[in-house]
Amino acid sequence: MTIAQQLKELSLTKSEIKIYLYLLEQGMTSPPKIAKGTGIARTNCYNVLTSLKDQGLILEQKQGERKAYLASDPESLLRNVQKKEEIITQLLPDLRALHATQKNKPKIQFYDGFEQVKEIYFRAAKTEKLLALGSTKTIAEKDPKFFLEFENKLKENGTFLQDLITDASEKVGARETREIMKGLYDFQTLPKKYSDFPTDILIWDNYIALITLDDPIFGTVITNPLLAKTFRYIFEMIWDGQMNAR
């Protein structure tokens, strides 16, 4: 590995390496001569010299009325790395705190109106398995064309839909969905005492969607693996409970 290649490992740019090595060999030199000797445009040369000076790798001195530059002792490279290491060591606790906060912080997106809410359904239809808790009857009656399009999108993507629906939905949305999706659809009906509520909950991958299907219509999608896992457990407990109640 050449010296230039090794310096690149220290995060120096190609132009910085050229000028730094040139100054090591030539000693104190003016910017015009540096630009000519390295083949770097003079306008860019001044920017590179400023960067190298800020890193402590070169020194700026006066040569008459003009500025001239010379390379610092190569040991400055080691000091530069040590300085960065000290800064990183000081920053680590704060950076780790930010990372932990971001990692566990849910991402929340809002959808206003039925047209925007439809996008949630099409987004959820791209997963391998979708869990749903709500009223297919409400969706089917609200916009039959959209409901049919959603079912076909699920079938087209090979998405398995596991549905917990209201008793009234079994006679409207569920039968139609099973006819279209065949083996990609399974459902359980909730007890009759739970009326046909105009809401829907979707769970897929790391997402949970909370949707109202009555005015004002809106949806909220929460992205968080822990919350999605918890909602999935709750769904499975209700599902198993309905199966055991048969």
For the stretch 138-149, pLDDT in tens is 888 888 899 899
Confidence of residue 229 (pLDDT cuts 50, 70, 90): very high
Domain holding 9, by residue range, is: 3-73
Side chain identity, residue 65? E
Q: What share of the chain is helix, strand, coil (3-state, %, to 5)?
A: 55, 20, 20
- Chain-centre distance for alpha carbon 226: 16
Residue pointed to by tokens 């000081």: 90
Do 65 and 140 lie in a common domain? no
**Of 73, 95, 122, which residue is a domain's last?**
73
For 170, list phi and psi in degrees, rounded to 5. Answer: -60, -35
Token pair listed for 1: 């590995």
CATH assignment at residue 161: 3.30.870.10
Same-domain status, 193 and 115: yes
**HSE, side-chain direction, 13 A CA sphere, residue 123:** 19
pLDDT over 90 (residue 117): yes
Do 58 and 172 fall within a single domain?
Answer: no
In the structure, what pLDDT confidence band is assigned to residue 136 with cuts at 50, 70 and 90? confident
pLDDT at 156 over 70: yes
Indicate if 197 and 116 belong to the same structural domain: yes
**Burial zone of 217 (CB within 10 Å; 0-12 exposed, 13-18 middle, 19+ buried):** middle
Structural domain total, the chain: 2
User: In CATH, what number is assigned to the domain containing residue 13?
Assistant: 1.10.10.10
139 and 201 assigned to the same domain:
yes
What pLDDT sits at residue 50? 92
Query: Of 57, 73, 89, which residue is a domain's last?
Result: 73
- pLDDT digit string (tens) for 71-82? 999 888 888 888
The DSSP 8-state label assigned to residue 170 in this structure reads: I
Contacts 24+ apart (CB under 8 A), 222-227: 222/106, 222/107, 222/108, 223/106, 223/107, 223/108, 223/109, 224/104, 224/105, 224/106, 224/107, 226/104, 227/106
